[in-house]
Structure 1
Amino acid sequence: MIFFLVAWLGYHTAVEFTSAGQNSLNKLMNQYRYRWMEEMVVRENRIVDTQILSSLMNGTAFFASTSLIAIGGVLALFRSTESVLPIFADLPFGQPPTRLALEIKVIGLAVVFVYAFFKFAWSYRLFNYMAILVGAVPVLKDGNKEEALVVARQAGAMSAVAGKHFNRGQRAFFFSLAYLGWFISAYLFIIATAGVLFVMWRRQFVSDARDAAMDHKHV
């Protein structure tokens, strides 16, 4: 469990608070969030922008609702520990868990999904705030470009914050997959955590998606 927490918190710190994290895919995409808002200023018709924003909100709402479903599933598992214990006892890996140990593991999984829900729900709210800021960006006229850019950059900053919380919620989903290994074996738990950590690191720093963002990076 200690390895799991260190991996999660270490990855969180490395991606969001270190100089190396500034080169991650998330940080690169934040630059495009600002560029999107700056380009929106010169467009009289902003239907495309509202459609993109709607897509972001719908995706966030989907993950928030999925988190609630996952929480419901975990609560159902908590109420069925007596039925589940024989299943884990028959597995060839590790020692059969006691009821207390299984309940502690289930509570931990519930905490992960509750955390994810709060992050997705807050991200959805922030995208709502962004929508208001987008609506407040004035139509470009003679002499008001700087005023429009100020509000547009505020909308871009709100988008970056919303994206940050969305990424944290999605990160919780990824680590929840590794957490499932703990129900089978402590060794599998460590291996699964290391695997998830490697996959997330690779996607952020050496993926083809990052290469695509770098090739068209706005300087």
Structure 2
Amino acid sequence: MRSPPEAALFALADILAASWFLFAWLIQSWLAESSPWAGRSLNHAMTRAREDWIRQMSKRDLRMIDTSIMQGLQNGTAFFASTSLLALGGCFALLNASDKVLAIVADLPFEMASVRGAYEVKTLCLGSIYAYAFFKFGWAYRLFNYASILVGAVPGRDHAGTPEMEAAILRATRLVQYAGTHFNRGLRAFFMSVGFLGWYFGPYALTVSATLVLIVLVRRQFFSKSRNALYGALS
């Protein structure tokens, strides 16, 4: 017969804290992408800036600077995709070393030290976050590759104002914007993974850490100096 700690891996407080973590993630995504206030967010300002960039590019004959921008976007995305894989591998290493980790923290007041199953579930959840981030960064990288081809296919400035030019600008702009959206979702997963670490210290720590991450992300999207500077330049 199993002992009570093994029979119930998580208390009600853990379930509520995990639910709050998911809600904080979803509410931040909704605020930045779909809410009535999304049109005043930092991400939306950069979405407009991407369209401005493609339109300015269409007026240039020499587009080496645009090629450099695309390379920078691809390299940054590839870096985060690789980092997410390393983090995922680290989670598997933590699972493999469960006994050692629990032995090290056995004398510390961490809730993770009491139940091995709970520790392993938390680590699997953390790994799932990094796996999600990898898929987002991987897809964003692929979209940036596609976008670089469409950027190269934009006609020269002698075609300015033609339907062909407008269609090419629209295609390139949309793909760059879609890539940026998936990149932002991957970054959001990275940020939320920092808040998730609080669960190793108990449900109340998870609630506090998830709330702090939510506050930081909302502030950056709607109240940061970077956001205000962009809207000052775009208004």
TM-score w.r.t. structure 2 length? 0.89
* Structure 2 residues without counterparts, runs of 5 or longer: 1-17
The question of 1:28 aligning with 2:45 is answered: yes
- CA 95–33 in structure 1, closer or farther in 2 if over 3 Å, else same: closer
CA distance in 2, matches of 1:145, 1:210: 34
CA distance in 2, matches of 1:22, 1:49: 26
Q: For 1:84, which of 101, 105, 116 is the aligned residue?
A: 101
RMSD, aligned CA: 1.4
* Structure 1 residues without counterparts, runs of 5 or longer: none
Q: Write the letter of the residue equivalent to 1:134.
A: V
The answer to which of 195-204 and 86-95 deviates more is 86-95
User: Could you say which residue in structure 2 is the equivalent of 1:100?
Assistant: 117
CA positional deviation for 1:149: 2.6
CA contact (8 A) 2:130 2:190 kept: yes
Which structure's CA Rg is the greater one? 2
Q: Write the letter of the residue equivalent to 2:38.
A: G
Structure 1 residue runs of 4 or more that deviate by more than 6 Å after TM superposition:
none
CA positional deviation for 1:185: 1.7
Q: For 1:123, which of 132, 137, 140 is the aligned residue?
A: 140
TM-score w.r.t. structure 1 length? 0.95
CA positional deviation for 1:14: 1.9
- CA 60–32 in structure 1, closer or farther in 2 if over 3 Å, else same: same
The answer to which of 143-152 and 196-205 deviates more is 143-152
CA distance in 2, matches of 1:161, 1:73: 30
Q: How many residues align?
A: 218
Q: Write the letter of the residue equivalent to 1:209.
A: S
CA contact (8 A) 1:4 1:193 kept: yes
Q: Secondary structure at the match of 1:89?
A: coil
1:139-218 to 2 correspondences below 5 Å:
139-141=156-158, 145-217=162-234
CA distance in 2, matches of 1:143, 1:186: 59
Q: Write the letter of the residue equivalent to 2:138.
A: A
The question of 1:111 aligning with 2:133 is answered: no
